[in-house]
Every structure is written in C-alpha cells, then in structure tokens.
Structure 1
C-alpha cells in the first residue's frame, strides 16, 4: 500500500493514509497531573524520519488512549489535518493530525526498521538563558546526570495544589551544569537504579525532551512535566561524544536528601471589613492598612489613553523597554518577555468613584481570557478590544491597597491585590449621591472617550459622543445671505414701542409702507426686494461683508425689514 509522507499532508486531505511510529505519548491532566485527561498528545515519525505532532481530543480519549502505545508502528487513516498549535510545540511544523470519530488505527505487522526511535532537537546549555519564559516550543537537552534529589512536595502558588517534585543536575560535555526539576508523575517515575551502579560509577548520558526553561529567584532551570520524557544512554550520534569524553572516568551521582521541613506557625489572614470608597479615599496614604481593605464596587468605565497590557520581563516581572529588536529589560539585560494584563479603570459603589489598577492573573480573572488570546483580536482603530470593554458594569469584591501614585498626588488610586467574589454584569452602574459629589473622580484622563468605552460595553455598536464630534468638526463658511441675516436685527423688533431706544431705533419710511399696503401680495414684494439684496451681496467679496450691524441708511435703501403688516399700519395711523 502506498502511504502519504507527513510533509505532504495538507488540510482537506480526507483520504490520506499514513504509516508512522509513535515515538512519544503523554496525557495532559492539568497543571499538576491531578485531573482527568484533557487530551492525549503524540509525536509520530514516518519511515523517512519526518515528524509531526498528533492529538487525541478529550472526547476521543476513551476510544484511542489504550489502543495506541509508544514505540509501536500504526497505519492511520480518516483523520483531520489542522493547523499546528502556536504554543507548546513538541516538534516544528505547520500542520498537525487530529483524531476524529471516523479515524481508523491499525497495528502494522512486521514493519521495516527504518522508522526512527528518537525525535529531538537539541539545545546547548549556554543558549538556555535566552529561552527563559519561552513557551512556543519545548526544549530538548543532552547531558550527564551528576545529582539526583529526593522527592519533595511543594506548592507552586496559592491557587495551585501541592505537587511532588524532584531536582536533578545535568552536565554537558564542556562541564557546564544546569538544574532540571521534574513535576507530578514525572518526579515519581524517575529512577536510574537500572542503569547506574555506584561501584562502577559510569557516566549516565541522558536525553531529556519536552522541557521548558523557567526562572525562580534569579536562577534559571529546566522544568519537566507531563510532556517530558527521558532516554538513558540513547543510541544517537551526539551521545557518542559524551561516551568518548567520559570513557574510563568515574562520574559519581550525588544523592541529595530533601531539606528538613520548617515548622511554620499557621497565620490566620486578617479579615478586612467591607469599606465604602468614600471612606477609603479619606484615609491618609501613610495610615492605610498594610493588609489592604475590602470593598465591593462596579467597574464604571475604563481610563482612556492607557495601555491595557505591558511586556513583562520573565526574570524580574518589571516592564520591558521598547527596543529595535522588540523589548528589553535593562535591569536583567534580558530580551525575553511575556504579555501581561494592566487594567486601569474607574470603580464606583454609589458613595464615590476611585481609580483602580490590576495586573497579571487578577486582570485575566476579570477579563476571563488569556492576554495573548485577546491581543489577537485587536483592531487597528479600536482603543479597547471587545473583551476589555466588556468588563465595564462588572461587580466585584476586591481587596485593595493604596498605590504608589497616591503618596505624591491629590487623587487617590488603589491597587487590586486579590478578588474575593465576582457578581457578573450589572444592569446599572451606581452613581455617586449628591452629598458625595466632591468625591467623584475628576481628572483630565476621564474624558469623553471613557464614556464611549462605557457605551461600547452596554451596546452592540459603538457611537461617537456628540461632544467629540463637535470638537473635531470645523465650522463651515457662512454664505453671504447668512451673514446678512446674522447681522440684521429680527424683523419683528425693528420699530416697535417696546424696542424704541437710542441704541435700537432705526429710520422708518412710511411712504414705502403705503406702497406695500396697496400691493396684492406685500410679502411677495418684500421677498423680491430681499432677493435683490442677496444677489448684490453675493457679488461682493468675503472681505467686504459687514462685520457689524448694518447702518440705518443701508436698511432704508434696501426697503423695510418688517414682516408684520399690522405693525406698519399702526405706525402709519399714528
């Protein structure tokens, strides 16, 4: 049977059949391998040593997980070819294979021996510091084991349960050392008793694949979890150099016992009483409780002209500085960074308004999506993507501390240190009561654009505020007739007893009024005269247009400006 090579696969290849060897297989069970399998990952290779990543989705795990085993060769057909993942890639490639309900897997009997057993892409130890925090690709390394630690149970963070770990130390052919930490099931499964004899102390050359480079308290290390796999004394060309280098030399593996656990008295965190914003704002920054205060607020609007993300250094967590090649942290001299949230918004609880800011995981909990996923939805002319604008009207209970900016400015701003509870979107945003109007946040950054963000979160379409449109729309040039009408007093107040004064009295000609009374259509006559004035005025240049009220003589020559015929008759009778 003719099989399709892995590089020849493309999307919509519904009838392709491949014959591959499963070189790696692992189950992803969450961060600490404590959950049910979310998906099963495979690395497959064809007879020409071409490699590709394959995935068994969660809904198909029960059908194929037990059927497919490592180091076996299978014929696979009726699968789906999809775009490769953008992160945590075990091998390079543009496409991947996904198992479906129609996929058929058959074990190949008496396969050829040309299928590779190892799939790897080695990274030198000296290049590891440049890959700290990089989650795009897994890292493969080759070294000699010189130290093995016992299993320790640690808690990565407050939001994650405790997990078993084991620390190893590897050394490359030049003597450079690096630390490798195994997590979860990988820590309990690791054992070198079958390949190492303490009396002979021969070098154990090990190939570790599927690792990530991380940093903890300034120290770089390799991290191996569910995707990590190791091979002792692998039969690869790169391992030959290690065996030649350490041939006839004792390489002792040190056994390190875990440090004795320190007895720590349990500390009960202080319970913060719920406080209104009006009271928080009145607290002096130097007297603000160090443990923070609890408040229940609703996000009223986003602060405009402030970025909602920032490039964070993977070593120190500080903001990186723009560089011609990307971003760089001058404090660590590192160009490796990751995107993190930086949400700046105005919150209200009905008593006052206050500016608040949150970073990282707290911002991700408010938005509900990873920052990389939101960045991919950014549009060119949008200040805030829909996911960011959608946090407006959300209600939360925060524990806040005073920000550093509050120590040298008049306005109070707060840092969100944790989220106690979330209540979802609210129908209305609480407004500060009349007696608390002085506590309403008022600074130049809260302009009409912040109101536009609030409208975008409450409606499906965004509208430009009328004030903003008026500010950015230049006034049009007035026509000659409009200038004349603008500079001419209203027709009904030219000559009436109520408006007679030394300043507003105009010359009045009764004879012209008599001519109008004899005409059948006096209004038509006045319009004809006005038309003559308009034609004469339009022929003049703009510079000749009158800037002030026309003189009484001009009005007299142009005809009466009154529109009330009864008023004219009353003057005539008088």
Structure 2
C-alpha cells in the first residue's frame, strides 16, 4: 500500500511566519506604534542616572543624533548597562534595531521630545563607517530666557554657553556622620557681562583639570548641557545633573560669535587678580583685594558681584538727601514703606515687631577717586553705635533728619571691606559696606556657608551670593568665594555623572561664597 501525502496539508504544516523587513527611518519619522524601523545614529553622550540621596544607579541612558541633526534619548535597564556601555561608544555610528518606546520622565528631560527609546535584550547595534553626522547638539537658552524657564517650571534641562569667567577650587561639605559633598563653581559670562554659576559635583568636581584649563588660550568658551535650573537668593543658577556634559570651545555657531567679540579692540581695562578665600590671619584679611577705587570704578560691576574688596579710605561726607534708617519686617526683612505693616507675614493675633536698620550713605575717597557706599545694620558695627541706641538719643525720629552722630563720621578714616552693589542702568558703580576692619577681632568669623541653596528633591543647587543694592540691607552673608584670576578685558573677561540633589549639610570648611540657607531679606 502506497503512502500518500496531502500536498495542501503539508504546506500548511511546514510554512514559517514571514518576518517583515525593517525599514530605515530618521528620528523624526519614528512612530511608537510601529516597531519595524531601524535607525542610523551617532552616540553623542551616555550616562547613568542615579537616585538621590543614596546615589543609587537606576538606568543606563544615552543621547543619539541622526544625520538631520535631530536627537533622541534612549534608556536601558541597569542589568543591560554593561552590554550597551560596551557596544555603544561615544562618537561612533551604529545601525540600531529592535527597540521600543516610552514617554520621557516628567522632570529632568534632556530633550523636548514626546518619546524615548527603550533598549533591551533584542536590541541590536551594528557599527557603521559613516562620519557625516553632526558633532554636537545643543538648544541654548539666552540669559534673559532663564527666568521665564524657571517660572514656568520647564521640565526640560538647560543648555548654556559663554566665556569662562572664573574657575573656583573644590569645596567640601558634610562629613562621615551625614553626607559628604564636593562641588566646584564655574562662572559663565555672556556678551552682556551677565554671569551665571555652573556647579560640578563630587567626582566631576575633582575631574576638572585646572592645569589644562590654565594652559588654554584665552578666551575659553564653555558649553554646558542638561543642567538643572533654579534660583537661590534671587539669582539664577545652573546645576549639573547625571546627563550633564561640558565642552570647551565647541564647533558651534555661537562660538563663532563669541570669539570675534573678544578680539575687538577696546579701551584697556585693568586686570584684577583677587584672593577668593577668606584669610585666617586678620592682618592679611585686612589687606585682601586692596584695589584703588579709581580702578574699581572702571570695571563693570556685573563681573565682580561676588568679590570682597578692602580699602583704607576717608569719609568725605554723608549723603544728607538719603534716609539714615528704616524699619524692616521682622519676618521677611522687607522694608516697611509708609509705616505699613506686613500683615501677610504674620498670623492673625500675633503682634508684628518691626526692626530698625541703618541705611545711610557715605561718600568715601582713597585719594584716587570718590565712591558712594551704602551702610546697613549690622555691617556698621565698629563704625557707629547700635541704631536702636542712637534712636533713643535723638529727638527727631524722622529718617530724613541726619543725627549729629552720623554727621560726625565725616573726615574720619577707616578700613572698609565692601562689595559692588547690584548695578543700575544709569550712574557710576556704588558699593555696599560688609565690615569695618579698623581693629582686630578676637576671632575672625568664618563666613556663613553651605554647599548650596536649600536643596530640593530634584538636583543639587549651587552657591551664589544674594543680590545687594545700595537701597537694600545686606542681612544675608554675601561674602563669597571669588575668581582666582579675574581679568576685566573689554569689561567682559577674566584671566558625568552622579549629580542630582543633596540634603542640606553643615560645611566642613566654611567658605565665604556660600550663604547659609535662610530667608532672603530684600527691600
């Protein structure tokens, strides 16, 4: 008996499913509902996202660029990190297929995209020999756009570019009983002399090569990517995150705009080399950053907002057209105008207790120039008696009537420690008194310090000085760490990975550029 086989049945049993062939797509053409695409991309950056406060690694991430200049972020589980960290090398081009899609995190987005790629065990990456890809990808924010970004709580991390204004030393905070933190502040200045602080954390703070930077030809252009934006003490700051990378003199159009501006002929402006750290010896501290007033008045105040200067000068006269004291709210520190109380600062039934503060202005001279300096409580200690004591002695409590005790300061000589007031649109630069250095103190107080502004649950903040105007009391310590080489050329210039948020710490070594977290007191 012959064996027969039904041809139709046989074909059904042996037929294998047909695997559709994947098609090439640019990043902008990807559809989360279609997984039959492959991409050809350059690996631009890669990093490991960590969870705060324990710095626990969570995911492997990278940023990919295509030939059209579009960018996308890709993530992989931590168990796949070793594989993809080996297979995907920075600046190499790959054909990648077998990926999925997900929505990006609600905060800390590196890109303004609605999708993120997911890499897994079926993801394949094959190396290609193709160099026709962009070198960089940035979406720079201008200085005047930073406030709007912050107010809108923009979840997209910030890219920024400018000249390197100064590079500070590494500061250490905390200890074995809490959390140990290291940070390095770098000032970035734009063409308008606006300086923004950029902070590197922990390992990245140490990895910054100061010697290599010192050997670079000036000016040095710095771009920073994927920074967390926040405000501390009224000023904008950029704080590095896990995704942050920085580049010196990158090949981008903005670099071509900054370099010619530096080389344009300008009026010669004196270069300053300032001492950034508070000196432990009182005599040395008394002479730290001793710069003639004539020199300071030639410099753009915006470039030296965080510098403390000292000068032996005479008080020529008191500005009698300015009030000599005012009352401030005991809660927010704001000036009580027209005698109005701040009901918004006190609970119902509690009695406000306004505080008195000096606010008189003096005109000083060191023989090279005259300058206006504003004096507030308690920085006037050592210059004049307490404001409350003086108020008890005078008959008129009118702030416009200058008491004889203040007028008596005319033609007296003192050693002033001071800083620039926040610059105004018109008129010469003015200064704010920080301390009278006539007589040594029993113990030279260390400045208030903290690793940064009060931290949030998102990322570290960085340290910056509260803005101080000639009409605003400087009750918050504004004594700050300064540039090691501050060059005022053209009134502009001076000679990644685990960085999210950090709990408030007590500094191991107090520095003068980190005000302790407290309420900002403004006018």
Q: Smaller-chain TM-score range?
A: 0.3 to 0.5
Task: Report the structure, 1 or 2, having the larger helix content.
Answer: 1
The higher-RCO structure (CA 8 Å, 6+ apart) is 2
